[in-house]
Amino acid sequence: MKTDQYVIGVDYGSDSVRSVLINATNGKEIASSVFNYPRWKQGLYCDPSGNQFRQHPLDYTEGLIYTIKSCLAQAEEKDIASAVRAIAVDTTGSTPVAVNEAGVPLALLPGFEDNPHAMFVLWKDHTAVKEAAQINAHAVKFDTNYLSYCGGIYSSEWFWAKLLRTLRADAAVREACYSWVEHCDWIPFLLTGGTSVTSMKRSRCAAGHKALWAEEFGGLPPEEFFSSLDPLLNGFTSRLFKETYTSDISAGTLSEEWAEKLGLHTAVQVGVGAFDAHMGAVGGQIEPYHLSKVMGTSTCDILVAPAADINGKLIHGICGQVNGSVIPGMTGLEAGQSAFGDTYAWFRQLLSWPLKNLLAQSTLIDAATAAALEQELTDRLIPELSRQAALLPLSADDELGLDWFNGRRTPDANQELKGALINLDLGTDALRMFRALAEATCFGAKNIVDRFTSEGIPVKGIIGIGGVAKKSPYIMQMMANVLNMPIRIHQFEHTCALGAAIFAAVVAGIYPTVEEAMKGMGSGFDAVYEPEPEKVGYYESRFGQYLALGNFIEQHQP
In the predicted structure, residue 511 carries a pLDDT above the cut 70: yes
Residues 6+ apart with CB under 8 A from 264: 68, 72, 81, 84, 87, 254, 258
Compute the distance between CA of residue 420 and CA of residue 400 in angstroms, rounded to an integer: 8
Q: How confident is the model at residue 130 (pLDDT cuts 50, 70, 90)?
A: very high
Q: Which amino acid is at 492?
A: F
Say if residues 481 and 62 touch (Cβ distance below 8 Å).
no
Say if residues 158 and 407 touch (Cβ distance below 8 Å).
no
Say if residues 39 and 15 touch (Cβ distance below 8 Å).
no
| Average pLDDT, integer, range 337-360 | 94
Q: How far is CA 223 from CA 204, 234, 319, 354, in A?
A: 20, 7, 23, 54
pLDDT at 499: 97
φ, ψ dihedrals at 427, nearest 5°: -95, -5
Say if residues 41 and 33 touch (Cβ distance below 8 Å).
no
Q: Which amino acid is at 511?
A: Y
In the predicted structure, residue 536 carries a pLDDT above the cut 50: yes
Q: How confident is the model at residue 558 (pLDDT cuts 50, 70, 90)?
A: confident
Compute the distance between CA of residue 113 and CA of residue 135 in angstroms, rounded to an integer: 30
Per-residue DSSP letter, 394:
P
Compute the distance between CA of residue 256 and CA of residue 242 in angstroms, rounded to an integer: 29
φ, ψ dihedrals at 355, nearest 5°: -65, -45
In the predicted structure, residue 2 carries a pLDDT above the cut 60: no
For 134, other C-beta atoms within 10 Å of its C-beta total 16
| Helix, strand, or coil (residue 515) | helix
48-53 own/partner pairs: CB under 8 Å, 24+ apart: 50/127, 51/125, 51/126, 51/127, 51/129, 52/116, 52/125, 52/127, 53/121, 53/122, 53/124, 53/125
Length, in residues, of the chain = 558
Q: How confident is the model at residue 360 (pLDDT cuts 50, 70, 90)?
A: confident
Compute the distance between CA of residue 483 and CA of residue 290 in angstroms, rounded to an integer: 13
| Average pLDDT, integer, range 295-309 | 93
Helices 430-454 and 367-389: crossing angle in degrees, nearest 10, is 60
Encode pLDDT of 452-495 as tens digits.
Answer: 999 999 999 999 998 889 999 999 999 999 999 999 999 988 99
Compute the distance between CA of residue 262 and CA of residue 264 in angstroms, rounded to an integer: 6
In the predicted structure, residue 548 carries a pLDDT above the cut 60: yes
Considering the domain 6-284+493-523 in this protein, what is its CATH number?
Answer: 3.30.420.40
pLDDT at 466: 85
| Average pLDDT, integer, range 90-103 | 97
Helices 495-507 and 514-521: crossing angle in degrees, nearest 10, is 130
Q: H-helix or E-strand containing 270?
A: strand 269-271
In the predicted structure, residue 351 carries a pLDDT above the cut 70: yes
Say if residues 447 and 411 touch (Cβ distance below 8 Å).
yes
Say if residues 305 and 288 touch (Cβ distance below 8 Å).
yes
Q: How far separated are the first and last CA of the chain, in Å rounded? A: 62
CATH 3.30.420.40 maps onto the chain at 6-284+493-523, 397-491+526-555
The structure's pTM equals 0.91
For 265, other C-beta atoms within 10 Å of its C-beta total 15
Q: For residues 400-434, b (16+ Cβ closer than 10 Å) or e, as one string?
A: bbbbbbbbbbbbbbbbbbebbbebeeeeeeebbbb
Dihedral over Cα of 279, 282, 287, 293: its sign: negative
Compute the distance between CA of residue 529 and CA of residue 542 in angstroms, rounded to an integer: 20
| Helix, strand, or coil (residue 172) | helix
Share of the chain above pLDDT 90, in %: 92
- Can you name the residues that pair with 203 across neighbouring β-strands? 245
Instruction: Report whether the peptide linkage leading into residue 33 is cis, meaning its omega lies within 30 degrees of zero.
Output: no
Compute the distance between CA of residue 309 and CA of residue 316 in angstroms, rounded to an integer: 17
Compute the distance between CA of residue 35 and CA of residue 428 in angstroms, rounded to an integer: 39
Per-residue DSSP letter, 244:
-
pLDDT at 467: 85
Residues 6+ apart with CB under 8 A from 512: 506
| Helix, strand, or coil (residue 75) | coil
Choose the CATH number for 397-491+526-555 among 2.60.40.10, 3.20.20.70, 3.30.420.40, 1.10.1270.20: 3.30.420.40
Say if residues 274 and 205 touch (Cβ distance below 8 Å).
yes
Compute the distance between CA of residue 205 and CA of residue 276 in angstroms, rounded to an integer: 10
Compute the distance between CA of residue 423 and CA of residue 368 in angstroms, rounded to an integer: 41
pLDDT at 415: 87
Q: How confident is the model at residue 1 (pLDDT cuts 50, 70, 90)?
A: very low
| Average pLDDT, integer, range 137-161 | 96
| Average pLDDT, integer, range 50-78 | 96
| Average pLDDT, integer, range 152-167 | 97
Say if residues 293 and 489 touch (Cβ distance below 8 Å).
no
Supply the mean pLDDT for the chain. 95
Q: Where are the beta strands (DSSP E) in 339-419?
A: 400-402
In the predicted structure, residue 121 carries a pLDDT above the cut 90: yes
Say if residues 464 and 301 touch (Cβ distance below 8 Å).
no
Per-residue DSSP letter, 305:
E
Residues 6+ apart with CB under 8 A from 547: 447
